[in-house]
Amino acid sequence: MATSIVGIDIGTTTIRAVELADPGKPKPTLLRHHAVPIPDGAASRGEVLEPNTIAAGLRQLWQQGGFKSKEVVLGMGNQRVLARDLTVPRMSQTRIRESLPFLVQDMLPVPVADALLDFYPISEGMLETGPVVNGLLIAAVKEAVLGNVKAVQLAGLTPVDVDLLPFALTRAMVTRAGVRGTVALVDIGANTTSVVVATDGVPQFVRIIPAGGAELTQALRSGLDVSVGEAERIKAVTGLARQVNSPEEQQVVEIVYRITGELLNSLRNTISYFVNTRPTTPVESIMLTGGGSQLPGMGEALSEMTRLPVAPGDPFHAVTLSRHLDAAQLRQNRSALSAALGLALGSAA
């Protein structure tokens, strides 16, 4: 493998990438990062719909960002990816993977032949039938994964791995940072929100919610009859305001609370489900990241809803910054770069 690797996060409107030197070291060096916009309809919820358009965007990304490595790690993390608890008889990881098609057909929304399967071990236990391994089944629709791989190959790049985006985020925010205890990492993207509960850095539970910040933008756009750019501006200025000073502000706040309230309820229910099914592993805190987490008041509202402390995540604890990078600018963009950084960090696993 090359001494540097690039993590690529393909979103609905933007492709982001970061390049890491020596990803196998305890603290790799972040060499460079860049992002380019992509046309509407080229990708949706992280899934490539137009490989040639995305390939053109990737070539532009490499040219503008000055990336050196052609080896890349891709991420998947939408409703075409499933993560569920699974307990299997204790055996080697190779044998577990070989047995998955025969064990999980009833858990999948598609035929086994149309899915890519993997197993993430968490712990070992003992049942009446003998020793077992408890873990997470990861299943992705093959067509969706291969579409992303095709776009990368069309751009002249070499995909070395495809990783689950919630795992990548956990790696950057929790595992490599040495966060102890049980923490829920909540990543609010444009179209999807992921929740990963990790104990001492090991993921225990993953859920992907098909809602994000773009839903609020669209509601403001249609409700106020404004452009997308104006809706984004209003969202950033008003957020979850506690006080209003005019009928116009009242209308904005009502839309924000209605749409955001639905997401907050889903997040509370997701965390409650984990706690209820694992009463001996209470969630101690929430770590918040993703572009949607920048909505003013989101952290405070989530804390009130869940009665847990909420703090922003910082992926840069896991890396050393190259001297030519602007550390202050990176801190401002940390939520946007977290997924790509976590993907690059996983290349050494």
The H-or-E segment that residue 329 falls in is helix 327-332
pLDDT above 60 for 147: yes
pLDDT above 60 for 348: no
- Max avg pLDDT among 56-65, 106-115, 128-137: 56-65
Average pLDDT over residues 223-244: 89
pLDDT of residue 347: 67
Sequence-distant (6+) residues with CB within 8 A of 264 are 301, 302, 305
Query: What distances in angstroms separate CA 348 from CA 9, 71, 126, 343, one per listed residue?
Result: 18, 12, 31, 10
* Residue 86, domain CATH: 3.30.1490.300
pLDDT of residue 244: 77
Q: 263 or 347: which carries more pLDDT confidence?
A: 263
Which structural domain, as residue segments, surrounds residue 95?
81-141
Please state whether beta strands 130-141 and 158-164 pair in parallel, antiparallel, or not at all (unpaired): unpaired
Average pLDDT over residues 82-87: 90
Q: How confident is the model at residue 101 (pLDDT cuts 50, 70, 90)?
A: very high
pLDDT above 60 for 1: no
pLDDT above 60 for 109: yes
Same domain, 263 and 193: yes
Same domain, 284 and 319: no
Sequence-distant (6+) residues with CB within 8 A of 71 are 1, 2, 5, 6, 157, 158, 160, 347
The H-or-E segment that residue 180 falls in is none
Per-residue model confidence as pLDDT tens digits over 317-331: 889 999 999 888 888
Same domain, 25 and 152: yes
pLDDT of residue 158: 97
Same domain, 245 and 292: yes
Q: For residues 227 and 56, give the distance between their C-alpha atoms in angstroms, rounded to a whole number.
A: 27
* C-alpha 287, offset from chain centre: 13
Per-residue model confidence as pLDDT tens digits over 269-279: 999 999 999 99
The proportion of the chain whose per-residue pLDDT surpasses 90, expressed as a percent, equals 68
Same domain, 110 and 156: no
Same domain, 87 and 193: no
The dihedral region occupied by 255, where left means phi > 0, alpha psi between -120 and 50, and beta the remainder, is alpha
Q: How confident is the model at residue 110 (pLDDT cuts 50, 70, 90)?
A: confident
Judged by DSSP in three states, 46 sits in: coil
Q: How confident is the model at residue 349 (pLDDT cuts 50, 70, 90)?
A: low
pLDDT above 60 for 232: yes
Domain count, the chain: 3
Same domain, 63 and 183: no
pLDDT of residue 254: 93
Same domain, 160 and 259: no
Q: How confident is the model at residue 242 (pLDDT cuts 50, 70, 90)?
A: confident
Q: How confident is the model at residue 82 (pLDDT cuts 50, 70, 90)?
A: confident
Q: For residues 325 and 347, give the distance between their C-alpha atoms in angstroms, rounded to a whole number.
A: 22
Query: What distances in angstroms separate CA 105 from CA 86, 108, 142, one per listed residue?
Result: 12, 6, 15
Per-residue model confidence as pLDDT tens digits over 281-328: 999 999 999 888 989 999 999 999 999 999 998 888 889 999 999 888
Per-residue model confidence as pLDDT tens digits over 165-184: 999 999 999 988 888 999 99
Q: For residues 149 and 280, give the distance between their C-alpha atoms in angstroms, rounded to a whole number.
A: 40
Same domain, 13 and 85: no
Same domain, 128 and 276: no
Average pLDDT over residues 226-254: 88
Same domain, 159 and 107: no
pLDDT of residue 335: 83
* Residue 59, domain CATH: 3.30.420.40
Q: What integer best gives the mean pLDDT of the chain?
A: 91
Same domain, 272 and 216: yes
